[in-house]
Structure 1
């Protein structure tokens, strides 16, 4: 009876945690790029009433007799399947159709993420605090820096062509941007490092400052701007990262993720025009401008799981009340 009561208590705790997970999923049904979570249970230690015995000359073997001591949470998994795409029309809204994460950073403008060329992972020379997100609702600050809704910098590659570099930073943090012909056969990304990206109001071309009329983001993440003389320049390429085990990543809140001991290090996507022997860009999704990824929470599934968890919670509560009634009968035996 006492064991049954404590088994019921463990069931109440486990199903309360399940309701907490379901409640969080439902609360975030409208959160951009939110990833649904599920909970798994496992039985606790079982107490041996009688040990198993092997067959002998005169008697056959007997199985063990065990009494389970309740349930516990085995794990809370994150479902990393992509959510549906929603058209927003925003020129800076970007969704990832497939695998991968945007790379965001916190630090001064001259901070950078150094990349090891052999395996496309971050090097120890990295000075930018790095995080990852699937939320592509980008904005521009007053200094034309490309940032997310919390002001974190959007990291990417500088593009180069004909000896010019689209974006670079001095030791004082001052930004320099040059015209880089987006149609040049020599166009390639600087894969040595990731830098904060920007979309300025004007670009210098041969000593002449030209206004930016419009810009677009192609499926590879290259930001192309149309200038007042109708020339098109490549301002940079938005970086993407992937992980060996995306389910092992740690949620930081605010639609941000961080790699953990079980997710592995971030593997960055090769930039445009890469000279790598085996490019890895085919393993990443395409960027879709003017769209955002929605939450992948299925409300029908969540409400069904809520009913199951609610009934299980009630059933475990009934175990406790029934055990209490039996204990009361034992107390009443001596009257």
Structure 2
């Protein structure tokens, strides 16, 4: 059989995968915080038709080897982690981490203590995921959550606006909460059962600190928590888990935890990060992959014609 048949099949396979990657990018052009992907090609083994030889002293010169390629394969799929553009929403529960490479830390596990006003100190049972999607919501208990119900993680804050524990590279243990009522001691309450509990009228997040501050009807302000951020030595090693979530892997390295500031950038409240998909580039890639797929298909039909001519030689 003609080797070019199998070479063309390899071309069909990789260009089909290229179309899959491109279509996924286009489909997610409006996904919050989405990072586009790019597929890398590499050639397969080559058949040596003749080996190279060195020049002979006083005789023939050197001769280059002769090799015939046997197809193409996928070398890898790289993710472009550059930050997307800012989309202003003016929604108080929307956040954008301005610095690329900084991720919100979320967990499907609530506080194991059963009290969501303070996080459990036992991090061994918690599962951590990371996201650039800052479109958060609140539930009936005031828990700050992702759209899928994952808890947004952070740190406790003391009365002097500093974290009560050393946050340097320590996983956040507090499930952040914005309750509707607080007592005179600044403790969250679910319902206003007595006169000492005041209704929250507004709240804000410090852009350079991540500290969540609530203000009650009586004009009193309380600091209720601090949003945690994470970064990685190798973002390309992160594993996509769907739902705009990433998970660390052996090649990404362990997460380095911290809070908004110099190393992790500031937060922009009332805004979201748009997808970084360049539609013009994606449509160009789609055209190139489509034409390459058609060209490889044409090789197969041409080989079929040649084989038919060979069979007809017997007639």
Q: TM-score normalised to the size of structure 1?
A: 0.84
Aligned residues: CA RMSD: 1.8
User: How far does residue 247 in structure 1 lie from its aligned partner after superposition?
Assistant: 1.4
**Structure 1 residue 52 corresponds to structure 2 residue 52:** yes
> Size of the alignment, in residue pairs?
294
User: How far does residue 204 in structure 1 lie from its aligned partner after superposition?
Assistant: 2.1
Q: Which residue of 2 aligns with 1:167?
A: none
Q: Which residue of 2 aligns with 1:237?
A: 226
As a proportion of its length, which structure holds more strand? 1
Q: 2:199 aligns with which of 211, 226, 251?
A: 211
Q: Which residue of 2 aligns with 1:188?
A: 163
C-alpha separation in 2, matches of 1:137 and 1:270: 18
Aligned-partner SS, 1:129: coil
Write the mapping of 1:12-51 to structure 2, written as runs, cut at 5 A. 12-51=12-51
Q: C-alpha deviations, 1:21-70, integer Å up to 9, x for none? A: 00001111111111100001000000111111111232222111111000
Residues 218, 288 of structure 1: 8 Å contact kept: no
- In 2 relative to 1, CA 113–268 (structure 1 residues): closer, same or farther, beyond 3 Å? farther
C-alpha separation in 1, matches of 2:173 and 2:248: 17
Q: Which residue of 2 aligns with 1:4?
A: 4
Q: Which residue of 2 aligns with 1:330?
A: 310
- In 2 relative to 1, CA 319–189 (structure 1 residues): closer, same or farther, beyond 3 Å? farther
Residues 113, 126 of structure 1: 8 Å contact kept: no
C-alpha separation in 2, matches of 1:289 and 1:126: 31
Write the mapping of 1:130-279 to structure 2, written as runs, cut at 5 A. 130-161=128-159, 184=160, 187-190=162-165, 191=167, 193-206=172-185, 208-219=196-207, 220-270=209-259
Q: C-alpha deviations, 1:155-181, integer Å up to 9, x for none? A: 0011013xxxxxxxxxxxxxxxxxxxx
Residues 39, 75 of structure 1: 8 Å contact kept: yes
User: How far does residue 113 in structure 1 lie from its aligned partner after superposition?
Assistant: 7.8
C-alpha separation in 1, matches of 2:120 and 2:38: 34
Q: Which residue of 2 aligns with 1:126?
A: 124
C-alpha separation in 2, matches of 1:206 and 1:136: 30
Residues 113, 127 of structure 1: 8 Å contact kept: no
Q: 2:103 aligns with which of 101, 104, 109?
A: 101
5+ unaligned residues in a row in structure 2: which ranges?
A: 114-118, 187-195
